[in-house]
A and B are shown apart, each in its own frame.
Chain A
Amino acid sequence: MAGVPLAWYLILSAILFALGIAGFLFRRNLITMFMSIELMLNAVNLSFVAFSYKFGRVDGQIFTFFVMVVAAAEAAVGLAIILAVFRTRKTLAVDEIDSLKY
């Protein structure tokens, strides 16, 4: 029975991850960047699940589970921080938020 090569899953994961990076690099909006991070996390999750399939073990999925949980927590805190930043700086453009420098 012909199936999908495993490598395709992984390459899809890599492509999504690269898209995430691209979003992080080229978007200048804090929230979009944050979403790009989520995208990267999802790309990694896909790898985990794919490997879980490859080795026939559930551990990869457990990891995915943890990543989701942490991502949820992160999203909560991160968005709260974005809120706080917006309240003080009145902007979401990261290039304007650069006071932590030399």
Chain B
Amino acid sequence: MMEQLWLIPALPLAGFVVNGVLGRRVSKAVVHTVAIGTVALSFLWVLKTLSALMPLETAHVERYGTWIASGSLEFALEFAVDRLTAVMLLVVTGVGLVIHIYSVGYMAHEGGYYRFFAFLNLFMFFMLTLVLANNFLLLFVGWEGVGLCSYLLIGFYFLRRSATTAGNKAFIVNRIGDFGFSLAMFLMVVTFGSLDFAKVFPAVEKMPVEAAAGVVTAICLLLFVGATGKSAQIPLYVWLPDAMEGPTPVSALIHAATMVTAGVYMIARSWPLFTHAPLAMDVVATIGLLTALVAATIGMTQFDIKKVFAYSTVSQLGYMILGVGVGAFGAGIFHLVTHAFFKALLFLGSGSVIHALSGEQDLRKMGGLRKHTPITFVTLVCAGVAIAGVPPFSGFFSKDEILLAAHHHHPWMYWIGALTAGITAFYVFRAIFLCFFGEYRGEGRPHESPPSMTIPLIVLAALSLGGGFLPVPHFLDPVFPAMEGQHESALVFVSVALGLAGIGVAAWFYVLRPGLADRVAASLGGLYRLVYNKYFVDEIYWAAVVRPVVGGSRTLLWRVMDAGVIDGIVNGIGGRARDAGRLVRLLQSGNIRSYATWVLLGSVFAIIGMGLAGGLR
């Protein structure tokens, strides 16, 4: 039975085409009606499809034809829905819809309104394609497509150089990740002769362990390279903080809730591969954990509110990667869902603050806003407690599940993860306290945002608070392999305690004893500067990669090699030919008697030759 799955991505695509072609000529109302309408229809279609397909014990596959066929290779246009996809579909269309609505208010006074909504719709199309894809190639289509939209939307304010540079950085860093992903695909084609999930995964299962180890590990590591790009893990996380140059709804939708989690989704989706490559899994988990810690420490020191949340996103993505890395795929996806709620909320809330302050993003120029923007304040606190892992809010459930699974894997992973949870609580509440408590330190008159912005905030706040009770892990049980081992409930208290301690410290530093934070920072000296400057990673990349490549290309390859050596040889050949000509033309002296001599010389040779050959006989 066909459920017309293709409609789900096609609707936003239609919105993109309509807005892209006509958007400049119609009013803003028409633009956002089209954009929101298509996404809403898509959301409804998801609901309809899922209710028709429930309980969805096995995947529902729809085939629309062949995309690329060459010899025995065939790459199909195939969409599939299973429970994992169902969760993702709901998150993407649901959060996407909320953020579309929010954007109406946020973008009301911006230029390029139609462009913004067209790009958002295009993003929805690619993200839904990514989620629905039933083979790696189609997944890759979505994967690259969302990267494109990310690029377009980060560089939305294209008059600002920093914005377009950030866009380029995002695209190129993602390209490096995609390089890994595509290599993984090629390796899969070579190994399994196909990219269909339905063919690759069973083939892995059947492979003997010894044969599988090498190549499957390689595939997994390459896939993970892709994931580090898209999901902003070490060493490719550097683009995400810069991506905050884009409008805030974009940061919420693409760079918090959906696109950046594609890596997590992809790893979870290809669990049959990863479970056959324990080494790769360890790498994944370690990188995830490391990213979570490093990003969290940077988050503690930043003053740009969006940068704080950006590093928070990187850190939380680290958690998810840790989750899937230790084999707790369900928990990873669960955290993905709850994170989509509370991080979207954090960004939208910060967007509301920025909107209230007419574009101010520096925490040092905020303060005391809880009186001016009460709804934003309340919803942001909701998000804060959710991310800090305070029970019984959503972050608590999902994060704890990951941490427990990590403990089961390696106890030290748990402790680092728990420490990170404490840091997380600290920096989120540091931001909230700096923003909403104390005295107002900026200029201008803050004002609460319009309902089109606050209503999405409230919806997301509700989801952040209650999202933990969604039975996501249980729902995903049939999809993923079962985790053995039992929960050690004592550990739960540790992480919760650390989280609460983080909130407490933040309150002590920024509410009770303002100024203490600066003294602590000063006493840490170099260490603080190191973290504040994000461990100088951008600078190191610049000096170690970008500059040598660009400079080397310019001087060595272009000037020396191309213009010097190759063209030198070519022009040299031409020049020598010319020299030879210059030499030979001296014969053409203009002196008739010389010519006569040459003629005579020739005749003598001719006659001698003919005589020798017997020609005259």
Residues of A participating in the B interface, judged by any CB pair closer than 8 Å: 21, 24-25, 28, 33, 94-95, 97-102
Pick from A25, A100, A101: contact of B600, CB under 8 Å: A25
Q: Indicate if the CB atoms of A25 and B597 lie closer than 8 Å.
A: yes
Residues of chain B contacted by A25 (CB below 8 angstroms): 593, 596-597, 600
Q: Indicate if the CB atoms of B591 and A95 lie closer than 8 Å.
A: yes
B590 CB-CB contact with A under 8 Å: yes
Residues of chain B contacted by A24 (CB below 8 angstroms): 593, 596
B602 to chain A, nearest CB (A): 13
Q: Indicate if the CB atoms of A101 and B590 lie closer than 8 Å.
A: yes
B589 CB-CB contact with A under 8 Å: yes
- Could you list some 20 contacts between A and B, CB below 8 A? A21-B600, A24-B593, A24-B596, A25-B593, A25-B597, A25-B600, A28-B593, A33-B592, A94-B591, A95-B593, A97-B592, A98-B589, A98-B591, A98-B592, A99-B590, A101-B588, A101-B589, A101-B591, A102-B586, A102-B588
Residues of chain A contacted by B590 (CB below 8 angstroms): 98-102
Q: Indicate if the CB atoms of B593 and A94 lie closer than 8 Å.
A: yes
Interface centre among A21, A33, A101 (most CB of B within 10 A): A101
8 shortest A-B CB distances, which residue pairs?
A101-B590, A98-B590, A102-B585, A102-B588, A98-B591, A94-B592, A100-B590, A101-B588
Residues of chain B contacted by A101 (CB below 8 angstroms): 588-591
A7 to chain B, nearest CB (A): 14
Residues of B participating in the A interface, judged by any CB pair closer than 8 Å: 585-586, 588-593, 596-597, 600
Given A28-B593, A98-B590, A102-B590, 18 new contacts (CB under 8 A):
A21-B596, A21-B600, A24-B593, A24-B596, A25-B596, A25-B597, A25-B600, A33-B592, A94-B591, A97-B592, A98-B591, A99-B590, A101-B590, A101-B591, A102-B585, A102-B586, A102-B588, A102-B589
A41 to chain B, nearest CB (A): 15
Residues of chain A contacted by B592 (CB below 8 angstroms): 33, 94, 97-98
B10 to chain A, nearest CB (A): 75
A34 to B586, CA, bound (A): 26
Closest Cβ neighbor of B591 among chain A residues: A98
A25 to B589, CA, bound (A): 15
A58 to B591, CA, bound (A): 40
B583 to chain A, nearest CB (A): 11
Residues of chain A contacted by B589 (CB below 8 angstroms): 98, 101-102
A28 to B590, CA, bound (A): 14
Residues of chain A contacted by B588 (CB below 8 angstroms): 101-102
A99 to B591, CA, bound (A): 9
Residues of chain A contacted by B596 (CB below 8 angstroms): 21, 24-25
Residues of chain A contacted by B597 (CB below 8 angstroms): 25
A25 to B596, CA, bound (A): 7
Closest Cβ neighbor of B582 among chain A residues: A102
Residues of chain A contacted by B591 (CB below 8 angstroms): 94-95, 98, 101
A89 to chain B, nearest CB (A): 13
Residues of chain B contacted by A97 (CB below 8 angstroms): 592
Closest Cβ neighbor of A100 among chain B residues: B590
A16 to B592, CA, bound (A): 21
A79 to chain B, nearest CB (A): 16
A98 to B588, CA, bound (A): 10
A97 to B597, CA, bound (A): 17
A28 to B592, CA, bound (A): 10
A83 to chain B, nearest CB (A): 18
Interface centre among A97, A100, A102 (most CB of B within 10 A): A102
Residues of chain B contacted by A100 (CB below 8 angstroms): 590
Residues of chain A contacted by B600 (CB below 8 angstroms): 21, 25
A31 to chain B, nearest CB (A): 14
Residues of chain B contacted by A99 (CB below 8 angstroms): 590
Closest Cβ neighbor of A36 among chain B residues: B596
Closest Cβ neighbor of B597 among chain A residues: A25
Closest Cβ neighbor of B589 among chain A residues: A101
Residues of chain B contacted by A94 (CB below 8 angstroms): 591-593
A33 to B588, CA, bound (A): 20
A52 to B592, CA, bound (A): 34
Closest Cβ neighbor of B585 among chain A residues: A102
Interface centre among B588, B591, B592 (most CB of A within 10 A): B592
A94 to B591, CA, bound (A): 7
Interface centre among B585, B586, B591, B597 (most CB of A within 10 A): B591
A97 to B592, CA, bound (A): 9
A35 to chain B, nearest CB (A): 15
Closest Cβ neighbor of A30 among chain B residues: B592
Residues of chain B contacted by A95 (CB below 8 angstroms): 591, 593
Closest Cβ neighbor of A99 among chain B residues: B590
A21 to B603, CA, bound (A): 12
A21 to B597, CA, bound (A): 9
A98 to B591, CA, bound (A): 5
Closest Cβ neighbor of A101 among chain B residues: B590
B606 to chain A, nearest CB (A): 15
A24 to B590, CA, bound (A): 16
A94 to B586, CA, bound (A): 18
A21 to B588, CA, bound (A): 20
A21 to B600, CA, bound (A): 9
A97 to B594, CA, bound (A): 12
A24 to B595, CA, bound (A): 11
Interface centre among B586, B589, B590 (most CB of A within 10 A): B590
Residues of chain A contacted by B586 (CB below 8 angstroms): 102
A47 to B592, CA, bound (A): 27
B349 to chain A, nearest CB (A): 85
A25 to B600, CA, bound (A): 10
A32 to chain B, nearest CB (A): 12
